[in-house]
Every structure is written in C-alpha cells, then in structure tokens.
Structure 1
C-alpha cells in the first residue's frame, strides 16, 4: 500500500491548457489579400461618378473628369463598370531614364522623349476590375498613337517603378465598389511631335472612337 506521504508529494494533475487557436491557411490568405487591397487604394482625383450612364465613344472630357465605361472579363464574361481618368503626364529624358540600357539598345528606340502618364481607375459596379493599361493611349499631334518602349529583355521593376509605377494587379484580390487604384504607362514621343491628348481606346465600343482628355499639365 502506498503511503499517505506519496500522495502528498505527488504533483497535482491538471488538465492541459487549451491550445491557442491558429488561423488556417485560407484565413491567412484572405488576410493577406485584404492587406494588399488596402495598400493599393488611392484617393480619387475627383469625386467618383455614378455607374450610369456610360460615356459615349468619341467624347471629349475635361481635366480630372471620369470616363464611365462598361467592361467584360475576357475569361468568363463577368461584367463591370469602371471609371477612368488621367492624372498627370511627366516628361522624361531618354538618356537619363534609360541609362541602364546598353547604348545600342537605347539607340533602337530612336530620337524620342519618354512621357509617363499616370491614370486612375475605379470599380463603379460589379465585383472586380481587370487591368486597364492596355486601353490607355497617348495621341500625338499628327493624329497617331504614341509607341510604348519595346526593349529586348523587358524593363525590370528596379529600372522603371520609380519613374512610372506599375498598375497594381487589382484582379488578384477582392475588391469593393468605390475602390480606386492608380497606374502609369510609358510612351515615346518622336522629335518634332507633341502629345495632344490622352485617350481611352483600343477595346469594345472605344476601339475606333475613344474618349479623350487634354494631356494633364506636368
């Protein structure tokens, strides 16, 4: 028989402490997406418009005025209404801004001046908006659309983001109506020509007759 002393000396048995709940992989992923969305949002250049009516093709808008356009997600035909507005246009220097390129590669760009056009886009209706950069254009004084730089090997983020921050991949995270994002696009202006307007074109009803704004003052 065990003595009473044994029971007095034995450690008290307590139930194990409750485990601290940990977030699941899915919960952590959702938190990360929510953080990415908040980090990408910007203040709108002007109050957002209503989702309707859409801006007719061929319209000319004033500085800071939003175009309202309907869009369709190509892969599954999800529809959305998006606001678009140019924000600024900054003239660069080819020799300085593209100094990281070998001389022979930079020479292939020709006698041009880079212009960096910042623009905003907003989700006015729907559940998500896919990138808008492909439809942002710069119209030159001869009526042509300005080229974008095409460089062998591409332009790495370390060389370009400071001059022309890329559009966030807004389609990669959840969005809410009223979200506003900003991106930038680089154009090359040949010597002897001027930039006369920014255009939303190149898709849907705006392919042949875009919406135009005056080039924002630098």
Structure 2
C-alpha cells in the first residue's frame, strides 16, 4: 500500500511544479519589453520651432524695470526735465507700416571708461583718430507700454555736454562700442524680432566720447517728431 501513495505524491508534485513554471512564464512575458507606442502628436513644423525659439529669446532678453513702469500715463511733453529713474512716455510709429506704440524710456547708469584700455584692440593709428576723449557708457531701459510691437530706443538716446553740444558716438571698424564683443557696453536686443507683450522691458547700452575739457550734463531722448528739436532730459545717472 505504501508504493501507490508515494506515486500519487510524486505526480502531484510534478503538476504543482508545472503550474508554477507556467505562472512564472506568464509573468515574464508580461514584463518583457514591447515596441514603443508611437507618438500621437505631430512633429513641430519649422515655423513652430522658430516661434518657440523666439519666445525663448524674448524671455532671455527681458529685464526687471529700474523703477515701476508708468500706467495710463500721458505722453511726456517735449522739453521736459525728468528726475533720475523717471520714465519718459513716448508715442512712436513704426515707419514701414505706421504701426503706433507707446514706449517707456529711462537711463539706468553712466559708467566712465578708459580709452587706452577699452579700445586697446584697435591699432594705435585708428585709436588716435578718436582724439583726446573719454568714453562714457550709458545704460538705458525701454519698455512697451501700449501697442503690439516695439522697435529699439537706441537711435534717440543722446548725451548733452557742458558746451551745449551732443557727444560723439565712436564709429569704428568692427562695429559700435568699446570692444569687438561689446562686453563693456552690450547693445540692446533686437526686441522688434520677438513676440512682445505690454510690460516687456529690455536694456541696452550706448557708447559716447566726451572731449577733453568738457563734461556730460544730461542724457536726452530725442528720437522723432517733436523730440528731435526739444528732447526729454534726465540728469546723468551714476555708474
């Protein structure tokens, strides 16, 4: 009677082992890597990628305003003297299609430079053509207050000197500024290339040359319209 019982036990063990192996195989089959699911979203077009890059460039270029932006402010009259850090509110027009906009402009700082050091990359004879002058680097901000697009403020930023003249801007081989990389006086970004929103603020810098014996007395905005004959002025800001 012992032998049959033993045979039944062995058979039961084999059945259990087989069942276990089937279970493990099923689990392994469920865990095995499968082909990746195709991305249902379409590939971005060249235009979409371009616009995404412009949006990223805009965010990289934006700065915090030196002082709060004016809200619902009237256009600043030509000939106005403003306090340091006070925004001028200027109505402007995009010449190509007469798009109108309202832009805020304000000087931020004025940093004295060293002609020999800052323009050392120029050959001596080229640097000598600049004369006996001292560079001054004027940083400024400009902001879109109303409208859909804005073009840069650089053409209207001027520096008035103690003899009543306007300081020269060095036009030199390799570009405008104290170095070939503009590291000391970064140019303003081409803000008109970006998608823009009201409240966007950008910053730029302009290099001026002050002749020996004269001083800078004010920064002036004299961009277009009435401002070309009577600008809006600020005291020269500190560095």
**TM-score under structure 2 length normalisation:** 0.82
Equivalences for residues 111-190 of structure 1 within 5 A: 111-155=132-176, 159-190=180-211
State the aligned residue count: 205
Secondary structure of the equivalent of 1:159? coil
Indicate the larger mover: 196-205 or 37-46.
196-205
Q: CA RMSD in A?
A: 1.8
How far apart, in 1, do the equivalents of 2:140 and 2:176 lie?
Answer: 20
2:212 corresponds to 1:191: yes
The within-5 A match list for 1:33-182 is 33-155=54-176, 159-182=180-203
TM-aligned CA distance change 1:162 to 1:15, over 3 Å: closer
**Once the 2 structures are TM-superposed, how far is the Cα of residue 215 of structure 1 from its aligned partner?**
0.1
Runs of 5+ unmatched residues, structure 1: 1-13
**Map of 1:203-218 to 2, 5 A cutoff?**
203-218=224-239
What 5-or-longer segments of structure 2 have no aligned partner?
1-33
> Is 1:82–1:129's contact at 8 Å kept on the other side of the alignment?
yes
The farther-off stretch of 39-48 and 149-158 is: 149-158
Counterpart selection for 2:45 from 24, 31, 37: 24
Once residues 156 and 209 of structure 1 are traced to their aligned partners in structure 2, the CA distance between those partners, rounded to angstroms, is: 27
1:18, CA displacement in angstroms?
A: 2.9
Q: Secondary structure at the match of 1:205?
A: helix
1:103-134 CA-to-partner distances (Å, cap 9, x unmatched) read 00000000000000000000000001101100
